[in-house]
Amino acid sequence: MTTNLSRRQALLLAAAAAAAPGLALAAEPALPAVWDLTELYPTDAAWEAERQAVEADLPKIAAFKGRLGESAATLRQASEAISALTKRVLRLFVYATLKGDEDLRIAANQERRLMAQQLLSKATEAASWVSPEVLEVGATKIRGFVASDPALAKFRFNFENTLRQAPHTLDDAGEALLASTGPALAGPQQIRNQLVLSDIPWPEVQVDGKTVRLDSQGYTAARATRDRTERKAVFDAFFGAFKVYESSLGATLATKVQGDIFTARARKYPSSLAAAVDGPNIPEAVYRTLIAEANRGLPILHRYFEVRRRLLGLPDMAYWDIYPPVTKLEARFDLPTTRKISLEAMKPLGPEYGEAFARATAAGWVHVYPQKGKAAGAYVFGAAYDVHPYMLLNHDGDYEGLSTYAHEWGHAMHTLLAQKAQPFELSNYPTFTAEVASTVNEQLLVAHMLKGAKDKDERLFYLDRVCETMRSTFYRQTMFAEFELAIHETAEKGQALSGRRLSGIYLDLLKRYHGPKVTIEPAYGLEWALPAHFFRDFYVYQYATSVTAASAFAERILTGKAAERDAYLGVLRAGGSDYPVDLLKKAGVDMTSPEPYRTMLGKFSRTLDEMEKLLG
């Protein structure tokens, strides 16, 4: 995943985003396992000094208020001043976020994160007058200024984006008021994170002869145990612990949904979905087409569950049977091995990508291993334009860890390529293309592993990884998207959302997506409380659209044709210089059509054909 910010704040917050290839490796020093944050600030005290300096400089933006229409020179000076301040704010925000995620139990770091969020909100508020004033100056005059001053070229796209969103931009007072709501609207996610990552007393169970604490990381590892009885015990204990907090967690998500509705209505959008997709200018039909095509392809998913049942040798299939590997894979992937394999797998992306990737993966940009108190999951944060992206992993040496490594480095390389090719103002790219970069890397990795598979069982394992990408990244994320749409539409009709109701909606979707032959206990309907993504409005669908686009690009890249590879790399280098759907379409993948989804699901079906053939 990536950590990025809204494009609506493009003049102020244009750079929040995130975002291996193949050289033979000689012996080298041990790879760094903890990131070096001194490249951002040498000490916490230096961070605090800069925070105070930035806060003191924020009022200076107001000196340009009411003057954007004076001349091209004034417009340029104002835009450059805001961009320079934006860089500083984002750098502060990156440091505070990374420092906070190292150990969520350290109060000082969480307080610093809160100060950074407050500063971000203040910075947004300080520049909230810019979009209304650009609209007041008018398209003709703004475009004339841009045409007359070459230094304004890097701001052109953001000006055009502001002009496009004129119907949804408020006056000065309205924009300032909305900007000031940032900390309050972020509250539900903060409460949810504190509950799930810190405060819930997670149970312990016996798994493979060891005592495992079932926090989110422990649950993710333990649910893959080969012992079916233990798998069910893991599910029951984990969701049983969640169940105690169903009402509180439901209140946090319901409040978050109300915040989305408030923002959409304030900006005169007909729905929360329309508001969410308008920022990156994605047609609402893309979202609805995705859901329709996933539902159309559910019989293929149900067929996969039957193949898994056979591979696992089970008499029936249940939800707790989704995660164990279908064959034994004894291989372990430590950090050097993970890096070497990733470098080899990305060779089809060419020597320039490979050399840059080799340098980056040897640097101290990553916090690699899990530890108590550390944030769960994995992400890349690339908003510090003048430094480099940082990456959080929880690498535990299995294939999933290897795949996550390749995935997250896809984000990081996207950031590096975009920042090298684009100025700060155009380097920030939306999630819609960010997840394409990461998922292409995943698909190149599994293709590489399939080539090297030594026997039938290993081949079946990697074929199942292809299927698991379809299940977890296409179908599951689309199920999440359908859930998110359902709860927003429920609230928009004036109906209440309680924890119990959220669980009921989610359970119905679980049963439909997994089919009548997969047993699902009612308590598992509370799974909606596990993905933090629901606290970022209409975010998860982009994983599903991205794996669809990535499938198309990966197939072309693997043909070895330089033109196909370069078209894909062109998307990465473009950063945020164009709208994401348009970028993909120019590179040959039209996400407004059902065709990419149907082509990808055809590949899924053919993969199942091969697995069934190997099974005899």
Angstrom distance (rounded) from CA 287 to CA 212:
39
The token pair at 408 is 């997250």
Q: Which residue shows structure tokens 């900006």?
A: 267
The token pair at 583 is 């970028």
Distances (CA, A) of 540 to 154, 290, 390, 459, 546: 30, 12, 22, 30, 10
Query: Considering only CA atoms, which of 35, 23, 37, 36 is closest in space to residue 357?
Result: 23
Beta bridge partners of 380: 2, 391
Cβ neighbours for 512, distance < 8 A, ≥ 6 positions apart: 295, 298
Contact criterion met (CB below 8 Å) for 158 and 10: yes
Give the DSSP per-residue string, 234-297: HHHHHHHHHHTTHHHHHHHHHHHHHHHHHHHHHTT-SSHHHHHHHTTT--HHHHHHHHHHHHHT
What single-letter amino acid sits at 454? K
Beta bridge partners of 381: 390
400 is catalytic: no
Give the DSSP per-residue string, 443-456: HHHHHHHHHT--SH
Angstrom distance (rounded) from CA 352 to CA 10:
30
Residue 319 has a CB neighbour count (10 Å cut-off) of 20
Catalytic residue among 102, 125, 230, 408: 408
Q: Which residue shows structure tokens 């530890």?
A: 371
Angstrom distance (rounded) from CA 290 to CA 284:
10
Q: In the chain, how many H helices and how many E strands?
A: 27, 7
Contact criterion met (CB below 8 Å) for 206 and 221: no
Pairing of strands 204-207, 210-213: antiparallel
Q: What is the DSSP letter of 576?
A: T
* Residue 175 parent element (H or E): helix 172-180
Query: Considering only CA atoms, which of 161, 130, 79 is closest in space to residue 580?
Result: 161
The token pair at 319 is 């939800």
Query: Considering only CA atoms, which of 381, 375, 379 is closest in space to residue 94?
Result: 381
Residue 55 has a CB neighbour count (10 Å cut-off) of 17
Which residues have a catalytic role annotated?
A: 408
